[in-house]
């Protein structure tokens, strides 16, 4: 989606460039035409050229406004897409962190269950296990 927006923007810029070049060619042709006309037709031809150029300028101005509006829309969409991609990446990182935490909790649970089972099976080792459990709890609190 991002690349299609960029491609559309590039096509619009290319189109505007081509239209501007065409306008320049037309203006040069009109200027050349003005120089080649006989003196008696200059006034009539000049009025027609001025009107034609005025219409061309109006069309080009409208096209420029349309392209500027489209550029603004595309820029806004591009910024939105960038923000969405950034949020997506952050959420994926957060999800990975949650998965790691969950795995750690599950390992800790398994270890604690094993310790409980050992303490029930051998009462003589229960004092040692309690000390180890307390040491682990102290280490976790220290972290």
CA-closest candidate to residue 5, choices 80, 68, 90: 80
Average of per-residue pLDDT across 29-55:
74
Tens of pLDDT, residue by residue over 117-140, are: 999 987 655 555 566 667 777 776
Average of per-residue pLDDT across 102-111:
97
DSSP 61-108: HHHHHHHHHHHHHHHHHHHHHHHHHHHHHHHHHHHHHHHHHHHHHHHH
What is the total residue count of the chain? 143
Q: What is the pLDDT of residue 8?
A: 86
Domain, as residue range, for 40 = 2-142
| Positive or negative: CA dihedral 136, 137, 138, 143 | positive
Tell me: pLDDT of 39 over 80.
no
Q: Residue 14: CB partners within 8 Å, gap ≥ 6?
A: none
Q: What is the pLDDT of residue 87?
A: 96
Give the chain's domain count: 1
CA 111, CA 92: separation in Å to the nearest integer? 29
Q: What is the pLDDT of residue 130?
A: 62
| Higher-confidence position of 125 and 45 | 45
Q: What is the pLDDT of residue 5?
A: 84
Q: What's the pTM? A: 0.43
Q: What angle do the packed helices 126-142 and 42-121 form, to 10 degrees?
A: 160
CA-closest candidate to residue 130, choices 118, 141, 139: 118
CA 130, CA 137: separation in Å to the nearest integer? 10
């Amino acid at each position: 989606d991002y690349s299609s927006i960029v491609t559309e923007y590039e096509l619009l810029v290319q189109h505007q460039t081509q239209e501007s070049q065409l306008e320049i060619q037309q203006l040069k042709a009109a200027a050349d035409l003005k120089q080649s006309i006989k003196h008696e037709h200059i006034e009539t031809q000049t009025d027609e050229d001025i009107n034609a150029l005025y219409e061309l300028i109006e069309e080009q101005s409208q096209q420029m406004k349309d392209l500027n509006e489209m550029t603004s829309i595309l820029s806004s969409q591009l910024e939105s897409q960038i923000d969405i991609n950034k949020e997506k990446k952050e959420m994926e990182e957060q999800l990975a962190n949650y998965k790691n935490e969950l795995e750690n909790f599950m390992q800790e649970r398994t270890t604690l269950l094993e310790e409980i089972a050992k303490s029930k099976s051998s009462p003589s080792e229960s004092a040692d296990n309690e000390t180890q459990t307390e040491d682990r709890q102290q280490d976790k609190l220290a972290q």
